[in-house]
C-alpha cells in the first residue's frame, strides 16, 4: 500500500515539475519579443555635413551610440564636420546601435612639396592634385624649355621641393616660353652666398644648376660661391678680358665653400667656358 502511495507521489511531483517547466518556457518565449524589441527599429539620421558636436548630440538623442572612427581632411568641407557615417542615413537599426563617424580635421596635415620643375603644365597640375594641393596662377618666362615648369612659387617666394606645407595650399607656377635662343651676359656671382645668388639670377630668368660643396660645408644655402660655370668673364690668348654670354633661361653650376673667396685671388671660373666674349677691353 505504501509502495502505491509513493509511486503516486512521485508521478504527481513529476507532473508538477513538467507543468512548471512548460509554464516557464511559455512565459520566456512570450516575453522574448518584448525583451529584444523584435520588429522594432530606429531610423538612422543622416548627419553628413553637420558639425560633429550637433551630429553626435542628434544621434545620442535617438538612443544610438556615436563613435568617431577616423579623421580626414578636405579643404572644401567645413572643419569638424561629418564626412561620412556607417550605417548610412535612413538605415534601420536597433536601439544602442553604434554609428561610426568620419570627421573632417580642423587643422590640415602637412605634406612635402613635390618637385614640379621640368613637368608640363598639365602633368604638374595632376601631380599637385594627387598631393592635395591646388594649382594657382601660372605665368611665362624666357627659358630654353617650352611649356615646362621652371619655378614653383608659394606667394612671391620660390618653394623648394621637400618643404613641408599644409595640404590644400595653392601653388603658382612659372612656365618656360622656349625663348632660350636669346642671349645675355653671364652674371658674376662669385663671393655670393648660394641663397643670395639664387635670388639674384632668378631676376634674370636663370637658375642655379649643379651645386658642388666643399667638405667643410654644412648648409649649402649659406655657403659662399668661389667658382661658377660658365664664368662671367674670359681672358683670351692676348691677355684681354671679355664678358661671356649665355642663353636666357640657362643654368649656372657652382662650387661653394664655408668661407668667402679671397679678394684678388686667381680667376675661379671654369677653365674652358662654353661661351664666347661679347666685348673686349
Give residue-wise pLDDT tens across range 204-213: 878 899 999 9
Cis peptide before 87 (omega within 30 of 0): yes
Cα distance between residue 42 and residue 104, in whole Å: 26
Q: What is the mean pLDDT of residues 10-36?
A: 74
Tens digits of per-residue pLDDT, 107-131? 999 999 999 988 999 999 999 999 9
Q: How much is the pTM?
A: 0.50
Q: Is 220 helix (H, G, I), strand (E, B) or coil?
A: helix
28 pLDDT tier (thresholds 50, 70, 90)? confident
Q: What is the mean pLDDT of residues 251-262?
A: 92
Res 265: pLDDT: 60
In the DSSP assignment, the letter for residue 230 is S
Q: What is the mean pLDDT of residues 51-78?
A: 92
Phi, psi of 217 (to 5 degrees): -80, 130
Cell numbers given for 204:
634674370
Tens digits of per-residue pLDDT, 180-227? 557 788 999 999 999 999 999 987 878 899 999 999 999 999 999 999
Output the CA angle 129-132-135, nearest 5 degrees.
50
Query: Which of 61, 63, 56 lies closest to 97, judged by CA?
Result: 63
Cα distance between residue 78 and residue 136, in whole Å: 21
Amino acid at each position: 500500500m505504501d509502495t502505491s502511495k509513493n509511486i503516486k507521489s512521485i508521478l504527481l511531483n513529476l507532473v508538477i515539475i513538467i507543468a512548471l517547466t512548460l509554464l516557464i518556457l511559455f512565459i520566456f518565449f512570450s516575453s522574448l519579443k518584448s525583451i529584444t524589441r523584435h520588429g522594432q527599429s530606429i531610423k538612422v539620421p543622416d548627419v553628413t555635413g553637420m558639425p560633429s558636436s550637433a551630429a553626435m548630440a542628434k544621434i545620442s538623442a535617438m538612443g544610438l551610440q556615436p563613435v568617431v572612427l577616423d579623421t580626414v581632411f578636405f579643404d572644401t568641407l567645413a572643419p569638424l564636420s561629418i564626412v561620412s557615417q556607417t550605417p548610412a542615413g535612413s538605415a534601420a537599426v536597433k536601439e544602442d546601435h553604434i554609428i561610426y563617424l568620419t570627421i573632417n580635421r580642423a587643422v590640415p596635415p602637412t605634406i612635402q612639396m613635390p618637385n614640379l620643375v621640368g613637368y608640363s603644365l598639365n602633368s604638374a597640375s595632376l601631380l599637385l592634385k594627387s598631393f592635395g594641393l591646388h594649382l594657382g596662377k601660372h605665368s611665362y618666362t624666357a627659358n630654353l624649355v617650352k611649356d615646362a615648369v621652371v619655378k614653383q612659387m608659394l606667394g612671391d617666394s620660390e618653394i623648394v621641393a621637400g618643404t613641408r606645407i599644409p595640404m590644400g595650399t595653392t601653388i603658382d607656377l612659372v612656365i618656360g616660353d622656349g625663348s632660350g635662343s636669346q642671349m645675355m651676359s653671364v652674371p658674376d656671382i662669385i663671393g655670393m652666398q648660394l641663397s643670395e645668388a639664387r635670388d639674384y639670377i632668378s631676376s634674370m630668368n636663370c637658375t642655379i644648376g649643379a651645386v658642388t660643396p666643399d667638405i667643410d660645408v654644412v648648409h649649402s644655402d649659406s655657403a659662399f660661391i668661389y667658382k661658377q660655370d660658365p664664368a662671367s668673364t674670359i681672358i683670351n690668348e692676348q691677355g684681354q678680358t671679355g664678358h661671356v654670354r649665355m642663353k636666357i633661361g640657362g643654368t649656372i653650376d657652382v662650387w661653394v665653400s664655408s668661407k668667402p673667396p679671397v679678394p684678388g685671388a686667381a680667376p675661379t671660373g671654369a677653365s674652358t667656358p662654353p661661351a664666347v666674349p661679347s666685348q673686349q677691353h
